[in-house]
Structure 1
Amino acid sequence: MTAPARTRDSAELIRAEEPVLAHNYHPLPVVVARAEGAWVEDVEGRRYLDMLAGYSALNFGHRHPALIEAAHRQLDRLTLTSRAFHNDRLAEFAERLAALTGLDMVLPMNTGAEAVESAIKVARKWAYDVKGVPADRATVVVAAENFHGRTTTIVSFSTDETARSGFGPFTPGFRIVPYNDLAALEAAVDETTAAVLIEPIQGEAGVVVPDDGYLAGVRELTRRTGCLFIADEIQSGLGRTGRTLAVEHEGVVPDVVLLGKALGGGIVPVSAVVAHREVLSVLRPGEHGSTFGGNPLAAAVGTAVIELLETGEFQQRAQELGVVLRDGLDSLVGQGVVGFRARGLWAGVDIDPAIGTGREISERLMREGVLVKDTHGSTIRLAPPLTVTEQELRSALKTLEAVLAHGA
């Protein structure tokens, strides 16, 4: 009789990763084995409140019953056809996603970076076919401190040297301007501009929320100058900020919206370029594709995600609990927090460097049963699942208060 496999503890599992996994991440030293709702459990059975939610990929919590049920149903029927054939789940997914965003057509992909890359291709094709930009001269204007992914094209217009250094030569055709600066944006746009690509809220930069009127100004400028407005809502979209899309806070409808992360419900990678018909109609067979993009399993889960959002319940929860989050952080300003930026259930919190770096604060919170992740310097990000309860949220804020007091 074969002996059962020995269960390895967290320390052993972390050591086991060292020689066999590429070191492109620096995770916190916790090994998650199970999860449900807003909680995860490590291999030793310790429970943690997840205040990161997979960088917004888990907006609906871990293993949301409706999403798990949709995945199970589809697993029993059909998982992949490739786009060589039609499948019976894709049309509904595309129809409902277009309706949810107020746009017309959908290009299904897998990851957020794929959606960004796809949008760049589409914008360039549109510039040549529709706007009349001379061949190979199309430009895209982006914002400094952006994060749109880490492919070679995308890091070409990043201002993060960690993402760029050692990965050149870089792809030309991009102009970088300061974020939240309409005058600089207008100066960068000319007859070669295919699109302006921005995050309505800059997530990796520390949840940077632009001034009121900035997004409306971008919309007006792009419309007036005849280029596309591409909104990267991969982190900010699908309920996170208290609206379905973050651009809705200013009543703005971009030409192109990029979605990912939460669109897959934390189960499968799903992303999409959603756009006006005249934009996505520039693509012809053979010009772009993805073997897994729009697969039946992804479409089934994505449709279930859309169903959750169509009720407005999660947007309302993010809005209401966002007030609790803001009030709790506001009470910590001067008590170890030097400032914060928040919208809905999403916040970037600047910790007093005298108390610790963002990494050190994240590790201290982990030891107290709360999971967050640092970004630049002494900034941490809070992005709990939209299923988090008010009690759980207040508990996490109380734990942050205790960690900061201990550090001081």
Structure 2
Amino acid sequence: MTVEGTTIAPAHGGPELPQERRLVTEIPGPRSRELFARRQSAVPPGVSTTLPVFVTQAGGGVLVDVDGNSLIDFGSGIAVTSVGNSAPRVVERVQRQAADFTHTCFMVTPYESYVAVCEKLNALTPGDHEKRTFLVNSGAEAVENAIKVARHATGRPAVVVFDHGYHGRTLLTMTLTAKSMPYKHRFGPFAPEVYRVPLAYPFRWPTGPDNCADEAAAQAIDMINKQIGAENVAAVIIEPIAGEGGFVVPARGFLPKIAEFCKANGIVFVADEVQTGFARTGDLFACEDEGIVPDIICTAKGIAGGLPLAAVTGRAELLDAVHVGGLGGTYGGNPLACEAALGVLETIEQDKLVERAAHIGEIMLPRLRALQERFGIVGDVRGRGAMTAIELVTPGTKDPLPAGPIAARCHAEGLLVLTAGTYGNVLRFLPPLVIPDHLLEEGLSILERAVAAEAGV
């Protein structure tokens, strides 16, 4: 497999998957519509669907549906298939493991692959201090466990989160999440002792981006001291780049100020790298960009190439403080997922995907900025590496303009894009790190046409 090539050879040895956009029916096609009708009678509508095409094969930068359409993938299953769908090293390891055994529960009879994943994460995550890692099933579960560890180790109750943050859909992580609809609406009451402070959001900071880092950090720290008391705070948790909140990159300098405050006050600094981790941003982990060394880092999504796995990695003294039996779960660190994770880490290293993510950003960001120059509805362009976004506004204002219509135009032309943002006005782009350059360029051209059409140009 080569990124520069036009075909991707799947690990199972079948026919090559052409790296091309190909539309043979409307989107969605007739077979997808039939399957979606079945889905509606079997699955509750609360489980949303971005694009109702049913996929039969995927790899490189394309998704092939049941009608034979080949779509360009700018979503990666929400940053999950970063190394590509059915990446060869992942498939080979999973197939071999499935033939040996599929489950024992690591808490009952352990196996080497779980330990190997933990060793890798201890070595690869920021900081040269002694670390421990344990494995769970999802990003939300990782976040919940990070809070458990912080509360246990500090003996404190309070948790501080930020505007525009997203941390999951369980009771505690819903509470940590900022946005009400669709994540929190009518699901309360919520967990206690969670407090929200401002995020340094440059595009929307009242006094402008130049003052954003200092003012937002000062406000957040002042609120913590006055309204909670630093001595009562177990953890501060933040996404280095806010994901569902709209790919908000905090103003430079903000994260170090918050981390320094935590260190000075015995507060556990937790980095939620569920969406940003594993080469997505042009660093292996996004917090490396400003030299942040979290006390605990939560990872998931891109960790295992599509198999359910997540991890909590942190300072040994914090994780070792929890009593025996206080951490774990039946499926956490499933052997198939562990082997997949080892295949992902091999692929990132051997195929130089950290560098590849940076290269993707070098292609995407200039073209997105060109859109901003041409069209008044593009208010902001932001992101790092292969995690980029545009924020849509009413021209001449910062009033949010819904992202759905442009996304729909892209979908109709065979480009899968995702929306995001507290105001629902952000288009976010998460292409697989193995997508060929020509598909990136074609996808951006489709986006340009969709923006132009929505802008009435």
Does TM-score exceed 0.5, indicating one fold? yes
Q: 1 CA distance for matches of 2:194 and 2:109?
A: 36
Alignment of 1:5-404 (within 5 A): 9-24=31-46, 25-82=48-105, 83-102=107-126, 104-128=131-155, 133=156, 138-162=157-181, 163-180=183-200, 181-187=216-222, 188-189=224-225, 190-266=230-306, 268-311=307-350, 313-333=352-372, 334-335=374-375, 336-352=377-393, 357-376=402-421, 377-404=424-451
> How many Å apart are 1:352 and its aligned residue?
4.7
Q: 2 CA distance for matches of 1:406 and 1:197?
A: 40
Q: 2 CA distance for matches of 1:94 and 1:52?
A: 27
Aligned to 1:3: none
Q: 1 CA distance for matches of 2:393 and 2:37?
A: 32
> How many Å apart are 1:55 and its aligned residue?
1.0
Secondary structure of 1:156's counterpart equals helix
Write the letter of the residue equivalent to 2:269: F
Secondary structure of 1:105's counterpart equals strand
CA RMSD of aligned residues (A): 1.8
Q: 2 CA distance for matches of 1:52 and 1:26?
A: 13
Does the 8 Å contact 1:39/1:62 carry over to 2? no
Write the letter of the residue equivalent to 2:188: G
Does the 8 Å contact 1:353/1:378 carry over to 2? no
Write the letter of the residue equivalent to 1:175: Y
Q: 2 CA distance for matches of 1:284 and 1:121?
A: 12
What TM-score does the superposition give when structure 2 sets the normalisation length? 0.83
> How many Å apart are 1:230 and its aligned residue?
0.1
Q: 2 CA distance for matches of 1:21 and 1:8?
A: 20
Aligned to 2:14: none
Secondary structure of 2:297's counterpart equals strand
Number of residue pairs the alignment of both structures matches: 393
What 5-or-longer segments of structure 2 have no aligned partner? 1-28, 201-215
What 5-or-longer segments of structure 1 have no aligned partner? 1-6
Write the letter of the residue equivalent to 1:106: T
**183-192 vs 47-56, greater mean Cα deviation:** 183-192
1:136-183 CA-to-partner distances (Å, cap 9, x unmatched) read: xx1011101110001111112332121222111111011100112211
Secondary structure of 1:34's counterpart equals strand
Secondary structure of 1:159's counterpart equals coil
Does the 8 Å contact 2:83/2:348 carry over to 1? no
Q: 1 CA distance for matches of 2:359 and 2:42?
A: 44
**101-110 vs 114-123, greater mean Cα deviation:** 101-110
Write the letter of the residue equivalent to 2:148: K
Q: 1 CA distance for matches of 2:368 and 2:426?
A: 13
> How many Å apart are 1:232 and its aligned residue?
0.1
Q: 2 CA distance for matches of 1:213 and 1:244?
A: 20
**119-128 vs 181-190, greater mean Cα deviation:** 181-190
1:372-396 CA-to-partner distances (Å, cap 9, x unmatched) read: 0112433211110111122211111
Write the letter of the residue equivalent to 2:320: S
Q: 2 CA distance for matches of 1:26 and 1:94?
A: 34
Does the 8 Å contact 1:100/1:310 carry over to 2? no
Write the letter of the residue equivalent to 1:182: A
Q: 2 CA distance for matches of 1:118 and 1:223?
A: 20
> How many Å apart are 1:20 and its aligned residue?
1.5
**41-50 vs 348-357, greater mean Cα deviation:** 348-357
**329-338 vs 201-210, greater mean Cα deviation:** 329-338
Q: 1 CA distance for matches of 2:177 and 2:118?
A: 31
Q: 2 CA distance for matches of 1:13 and 1:340?
A: 36
Write the letter of the residue equivalent to 2:450: V
What TM-score does the superposition give when structure 1 sets the normalisation length? 0.92
> How many Å apart are 1:249 and its aligned residue?
0.3
> How many Å apart are 1:284 and its aligned residue?
2.0
> How many Å apart are 1:26 and its aligned residue?
3.6
Does the 8 Å contact 2:241/2:249 carry over to 1? yes
Q: State the identity as a percent.
A: 34
Q: 1 CA distance for matches of 2:416 and 2:316?
A: 41
Aligned to 2:15: none
1:299-353 CA-to-partner distances (Å, cap 9, x unmatched) read: 1111122222344711101112201111010111132523221211111212355
Q: 2 CA distance for matches of 1:61 and 1:406?
A: 31
